[in-house]
Amino acid sequence: MRRLVPFVLVPILLVPAAPVAAHKAPNGPTATGYGGAVASVDPTATAVGLQVLRDGGNAVDAAVAVAATLGVTEPFSAGIGGGGFFVYYDAKSGRVSTLDGRETAPQSMTSTAFVNPATGQPYAFQEARVSGLSAGVPGTLATWDTALQRWGTRSLSRSLRPAADVARRGFTVDATFNQQVTDNQAAFAQFSSTSALFLPGGAAPAVGSTLRNPDLAATYDLVARRGIGAFYGGEVGRDIVTTVQQPPRAASPALPWQYEIRPGGMTIADLRAYEVRRPAPTHVRYRGYDVYGMATPSSGGSTVGEALNILERSDLSALGRTQALHRYLEASALAFADRNRYVGDYTARRVLDELLTDGFAAERACQIDPAHALAKPVLPGVPDGQYTGCATATGGAAPDLGQSTTNLTVADKWGNVVEYTLTIEQIGGNGIVVPGRGFLLNNELTDFNFTPTQGTAEDPNLPGPGKRPRSSMAPTIVLQHGRPFLALGSPGGSTIITTVLQILVNRLDLGMTLPQALAAPRATQRNTAAVTAEPSFVASPEGTALAGLGHTYTPMAEIGAATAIEFLGHGKLLACAEPVRRGSGSAGTVR
C-alpha cells in the first residue's frame, strides 16, 4: 500500500508535474459515515473512489476508478495485465450479479503445458511463473468496460482519467512497494522493460521517492480514446502478444536467473476472443443471512459456501471460541478437499450447486470430531444427492498458494454495492512489463495444476485451450432481509477463502465488530497436515487449546489483506481495511 500519498484530483495535464500536496489527510483503515464508502489497500485509490462518489458517480463508476488507480499504485497486485471477479448488488432490483473477468488460456495451451518435455517433470514454480507461458489473456479492462456498460453511469474513458493522472504525475513509493520490488529484483532484472520501469538505477525505487509511469498513463489515454478494442486486438494487444511470444530479455541482466525464460503461445486471436462471463452468483443461507459469492472458475463462492453450510450444523456462538475455531479449521479442510476434487472451470453448475446443499454439508459435518483434529489431508466427499452417512471418496488432494492480488469494496448513496477482487497472480505477476505500455502481465495460468492431483480421479484444474484456471478469489456480498449487510473480500491465493470465512465467523458468530473481525489473528486450514497461522494466532489461548486438539502450525507472518463494508442501517456505513497487514489499508466515507 502507498501511505501518505500526496494527491488531489485535477484535470489531465499534458506535461508531467510534481505530485501535488494532499488536500486532506489520507484515510485510515476504518471509517463510519454516510453517502457512500470505499475501502481499498491504498489511500490514493480510496481517495479517487470517494471523489467519484462525491461527484455523483455510482458504486460501479467508483469501483472502476479505484481499480484503475490500484493498477498504478499497486502494479504488482493488480492492473490491466490481469483479471478478477466483480460482484455487484443492484439496489433497484435487489439482485446480486457477478462478472468473471478471469484470465484465459490461449488456444495453444495443452494439459501438459507446465511439464518440461525434456524431463517429463513439472517446471519449478518460478520457471513456470517468469515466462510468457504463464500469461493468460487479461480480463480486467473488459471487466471494467462491461461493468460500466451494464450498471455504471460513466464512460470507461472518464473512469480511467483519475488513474491516468496519478500515473502521469506520480505517487510516493512506500515501504511495501519498495519491498515488493526488492523481492522480485532478480526476476525483474531479466527484462529490459521491467528494469526500466521498476529498477531505476538498478535498484528498487527508494521509499519516499516519486514513481511516474507515463507509459501506463498513455495506455489508459489510448484506451480512453479508442475503447478496449485497442487492447483486445489493437496495438496494445499486438504488443502483449509480442511480449508473450518473445519476452523482452535484458541484454546483460544485473542479476542472475537460474531458469530458462520460456515463451508463450498467446495470439492476437486469443485476445480478440476474450469474453467476460456473467455466471449466476453462488448462494447459501447462513444463520438467516443470504451469502452471495463467485462461481467457477473461482472456487471462492462454493468453498466459502460449503464451509458455512458445514459450520451451520453447530451453534458456534454457544460453543466457545476454541470449539468454534476448531470447527472453522475442520470445515475449511473438508471444503478444500471437495474444491480440489470437483471445482474447476468446467465444473457443471449442478455439481457446484450440489456442493452447496445442506444434505452434502451434513454428510461432511458429521466427520468433525470435537475432541480431535482430523488427520489431513481429508478425503473429498461424494456430492451425489444421497446423503445418509459420512461418505468419503478416494484419492489425493493438493493445496496451492499465492500472496498477491488486491481487493476493494464500494457502496454508494443509492445502496448499490461492489465487491471486487483483482489480481495478476503472484506479486509482480510474470515479471514482464509490456514494453512501452507500463503494465505487468499476469502469471495466472500457474493457477492451473501442473500435473494431475486427484489420483485416479479426474483433476478439474488441469490446463487446457481457452480454459480459465481455478481461482480462490471470494468477493462476497451478504444480505439480510434482502438488503446489504456486509460486503468483503481479500487477496491471498487459496488463503482468500479462509480469510473471508474467518471474518464471517468472527462477525456473525463470535460477536466481533467488523474492525475486530478483520484485525483478529488468522489461521488457514486448506486440507494440509499443518494449519498455516499468523504468529499471534499460534500464541493466543485458542491457538494453544487447538494444539491440544491435535492441530499443528506452520507460521506465516501475514494472511490476507481484506477490505469490507458493513451496512449499519438508515444509510450508515462502516468501511474497513486492514489496520496492520500489508502496511494497513484505507477506508473512507463520503460524509
Q: Which of 378, 368, 381, 395 is nearest to 333 (CA)?
A: 378
Q: Which is nearer to ligand GLU, 164 or 577 (CB)?
A: 577
Q: Residue 174, SS3?
A: coil
Please report how close the Cβ of residue 299 comes to ligand GLU at its closest, in angstroms. Answer: 8
The answer to whether residues 272 and 107 touch, using CB atoms and an 8 Å cutoff, is no
Please report how close the Cβ of residue 77 comes to ligand GLU at its closest, in angstroms. Answer: 8
> Is 40 among the annotated ligand-binding positions?
no
Q: Which is nearer to ligand GLU, 57 or 491 (CB)?
A: 491
Q: Which is nearer to ligand GLU, 176 or 405 (CB)?
A: 405
Q: CB under 8 Å to 463, separation ≥6 — which residues? A: 105, 109, 110, 111, 112, 113, 114, 445, 448, 469
Instruction: Give the chain's radius of gyration (CA, Å).
Output: 22
The answer to whether residues 47 and 7 touch, using CB atoms and an 8 Å cutoff, is yes
The answer to whether residues 349 and 305 touch, using CB atoms and an 8 Å cutoff, is no
Please report how close the Cβ of residue 497 comes to ligand GLU at its closest, in angstroms. Answer: 9
- Distance CA(82)–CA(7), nearest Å, equals 25
Q: Which is nearer to ligand GLU, 419 or 509 (CB)?
A: 419
The answer to whether residues 37 and 43 touch, using CB atoms and an 8 Å cutoff, is no
Paired residues of 191 in beta bridges? 249
Helix pair angle (321-342, 495-508), 10° resolution: 140
Q: Which is nearer to ligand GLU, 310 or 473 (CB)?
A: 473
Q: Which is nearer to ligand GLU, 37 or 343 (CB)?
A: 343
Query: What one-character-per-residue DSSP string does 305-331 give?
Result: HHHHHHHTTS-HHHH-HHHHHHHHHHH
Please report how close the Cβ of residue 472 comes to ligand GLU at its closest, in angstroms. Answer: 4
Please report how close the Cβ of residue 18 comes to ligand GLU at its closest, in angstroms. Answer: 34
> Is 471 among the annotated ligand-binding positions?
yes
- Distance CA(111)–CA(115), nearest Å, equals 9
Within 10 angstroms of residue 208's Cβ, the number of other Cβ atoms is 11
> Is 327 among the annotated ligand-binding positions?
no
CA dihedral 169, 175, 176, 179 (to 10 degrees): 110
Residue 405 falls in the annotated catalytic set: yes
> Is 447 among the annotated ligand-binding positions?
yes
Please report how close the Cβ of residue 403 comes to ligand GLU at its closest, in angstroms. Answer: 5
Catalytic-role residue among 30, 143, 405, 589: 405
> Is 493 among the annotated ligand-binding positions?
yes
Instruction: Give the binding site for ligand GLU (CB under 6 A).
Output: 402-405, 423, 425, 444, 447, 471-473, 491-493, 496
Tell me the catalytic residues. 405
| Binding-site entries for L-glutamate | 102, 447, 471-472, 493
| Binding-site entries | 102, 447, 471-472, 493
